[in-house]
Structure 1
């Protein structure tokens, strides 16, 4: 069976490569074109640049893929597409399918669209999945939203979501169609859902605890505020907040030692990786190691400013898209290392982290032909990434021979 998800109507000699990320920050890339072939078959080798540790193969082309997740037990890869579609691919035999019903209606504009997907901690018993998306809030305004439902794949090449409902949304809408963030991570014990909520390009809300923009929220699995949050006594939505002073968090993950880490876009410079601490303020927009796009200065992080400082920062930016802590055997020397898929630098950064010292170092950076939008680890320890934009490929990475 062919593994292509893109419809034949969109194939042409070249297609504009859409992106969601300003030329300085990586938030909005310059338009480029990429040839999209309708003859690509599963497993086609992909040439990588430099002395890469990876052997890469392409397994699908997609329409602006945004996030990927492996289904427990089956090993199928589910992939959200920004326009609102949810596709899947089975690496074992190359079969493909689509989720044809039950998906939310999304606002597909600029950085908005269908966002993250995650299988619930109790998925084996409940079949519950979680999705985030940009939702119409009226008057040309939007919010980031989170919902959950049951995945039903009774048909051999078709799935649907039943009982899908919204369980959380940003507490205030914005005219901007950017900085939704809306990335999901579950606590290691499976009891809590952590969700990134971007500043929506408004900056100031990230320092205002009366709303949940520019924050990481900690929720029960039903979307309600979890007990024990640092501002639980202040009422909704402040009782949801775990940390604040964030800009645009596109990666959030628990390290093997149980600590939560996040990676976020800076403005003109100052992308940063942070260990997430209960109740901490990460300084945005009062502190950043970057500057405003108009060139005006933002005070740098410093040891005495009262804000949490990044473990590592990047200027020029890498424009991080997502990240994982690697735990597999295929790249055994990398166990516990952080792997970051990058947009602007079209690369994977490999990071060593020290949670106790709140420090990190970039051990290596591996170049790719195109911008990378998401990264995931397969059950066999292989690494899978998706490229950004129209015609973005699904790539499997194994050790180079």
Structure 2
């Protein structure tokens, strides 16, 4: 069976089609092009840049892949922890330890099932000689649920070396306001899985020790501001109300007590868009764009974009550029609207280019560079 799966994946790589090499697009500031790097990825979800210039890419179907010298290795990385692929769940984020070069440690987020139901887990592992070893679970959101959506899974490290983990509301919205329940918030832990010092719940028995924020519906983008070091996120609203937020310890982001969206039925979830003690988003979209992946551009290839925030969109199939100044969004521009692909992840590469993953059964990896 495993051999069949490998052969099938190789077949996908042969028959998948990428846009023409050097396809050129325009923005307000510059012209740019997409360089196809890899194809045939089954619903890719996250990527990480290795020190040797290669890349790791997760496939939601449960595989960790290597893009080596611009070519997708047909063999998945062995040693991925036990997980379940169901609904929106599967293998999600891959994130390198800040001192990866020295310790070869990385982190994976994924969905897991046992007799009590499904949940979000994070494991750490060593990546040595193209395989995972010493795999151990360091975080597990509780309680579990039978729901197959809103696992979140995005992760980031702050400047102190603490790990931030997004957990969605699991499709049970009221859980996001229950600070004794791990769903619907962001958790901050050490690399060994302990609550990070200074977490808001450490001295409050009503709040889980690992919580950093709560009232978050389903965070699908997380990145670190290149100058301030603040953790920025965005999350899916229902029908409308997708949000961009800057994380502040102990902050309630309001879901579902306040929202700029409505239910999928068309009925209101609440009549309130603001309440005392609940944060307002820096920016929101209505109607929903279904944002996924985000990165600040801080490279030198396209200086006109320095400091801009880039957000992928699944539903609207585009890349959004947000110009931010004085703590506010000053301008918004839609890019790649003619590409026709669901953008799952957006990353700032060490080469100064933006890197994009598209969420399809035969998903693509692109490198975005100047047209000239």
Q: Check whether TM > 0.5.
A: yes
Aligned-pair CA distance for 1:275: 1.2
Unmatched tracts of structure 2, length 5 or more: none
Distance 2:172 2:362 in 1: 31
1:327 equivalent to 2:303? Answer no
Q: Does 1:180 find its partner at 2:151?
A: yes
SS at match of 2:362: strand
Q: Per-residue displacement from partner, 1:49-85 (whole Å, max 9, x unpaired)? A: 66683211222221111111111x2121110001111
Match of 1:301 among 273, 288, 294: 273
Q: How many angstroms does 1:11 deviate by?
A: 8.3
**1:248 and 2:218 matched:** yes
1:390 CA displacement: 0.6
How far apart are residue 360 of structure 1 and its match?
A: 2.2
**How far apart are the structure 1 equivalents of 2:305 and 2:297?**
7
Cα distance in 2 for residues equivalent to 1:276 and 1:136: 29
Q: Distance in 2 between matches of 1:370 and 1:138?
A: 37
C-alpha separation in 2, matches of 1:374 and 1:363: 19
Partner of 1:365: 334
Equivalent residue, structure 2, for 1:137: 114
Aligned: 1:126 with 2:103: yes
Take 2:8 and 2:133, find their aligned partners in 1: how far apart are those partners?
Answer: 30
Instruction: Judge conservation of contact 1:65–1:387 (CA < 8 Å) in 2.
Output: yes
- Comparing 45-54 and 232-241, the one that deviates more: 45-54
- Structure 1 residue 383, shift from structure 2 partner: 1.4
Q: Name the residue aligned to 1:86.
A: 64
Coordinate RMSD, CA, aligned: 2.3
State yes or no: 1:349 paired with 2:320: yes
Instruction: Judge which range, 194-203 or 59-68, deviates more.
Output: 59-68
Tell me if 1:318 matches 2:285. no
The number of aligned residues is 361
The Cα shift of 1:237 comes to: 6.9
Structure 1 residue ranges without an equivalent (≥5): 1-5, 13-35, 154-158
Secondary structure at 1:230 match in 2: coil
Whole-Å separation in 2 of the counterparts to 1:349 and 1:194:
24
CA distance in 1, matches of 2:282, 2:253: 11
Q: Which residue of 1 aligns with 2:94?
A: 117
Secondary structure at the counterpart of residue 102 of structure 2: helix
Q: Distance in 2 between matches of 1:237 and 1:162?
A: 34
Aligned to 1:337: 308
Q: Which residue of 1 aligns with 2:8?
A: 9
Q: Does the 8 Å CA contact 1:325/1:337 hold for their aligned counterparts?
A: yes
User: Any residues of structure 2 matched to 1:1-400 within 5 Å, and which?
Assistant: 9=8, 38=14, 45=21, 47=23, 53-61=31-39, 62-71=41-50, 73-91=51-69, 94=71, 96=73, 98-139=75-116, 141-153=117-129, 159-189=130-160, 191-234=161-204, 238-256=208-226, 257-297=228-268, 298-302=270-274, 305-354=276-325, 357=327, 359-367=328-336, 368-400=339-371
TM-score, structure 1 normalization: 0.84
